[in-house]
Amino acid sequence: MGEKRTFTVDSSNVQEKGGSYKSKNPLSAAKKAASQLFKKAAKTKHKTKKQITFELRETTSGSDKKTMKYVAKRVKLAKPKVVEIMGTKITYNFKIDIKAKCN
């Protein structure tokens, strides 16, 4: 099953939802979603800056549309990571840790 699956954010503690995140597994999609949620929280001056809880629902056609809960923490890197992609340098100052949350 090498096909990519599609997920969306159902709810979060920063009052943001929606988006379409494609990945082979839910954890990778959750990382992408958490990254976007942290960006949106920073823009809206939301008090939650270091930890976000959210629900991710699978929206892939033919799936059983399960909902998974996650807790994401944003950790500042001691030394920024610089990566060059297609001639453009990108600096990563944070990493995102994701953990599945039990109901």
Question: What are the pLDDT digits (tens) for 73-92?
Answer: 988 899 999 999 898 999 98
By percentage, how much of the chain surpasses pLDDT 70?
Answer: 92
User: What's the predicted TM-score (pTM) here?
Assistant: 0.81
| Sheet of strand 51-58: strand arrangement | 18-23, 5-12, 51-58, 67-85, 88-100
Query: Lowest-confidence range among 1-10, 60-69, 70-79, 82-91?
Result: 1-10
Q: What are phi and psi of 4, to 5 degrees?
A: -80, 145
* pLDDT of 46 above 70: no
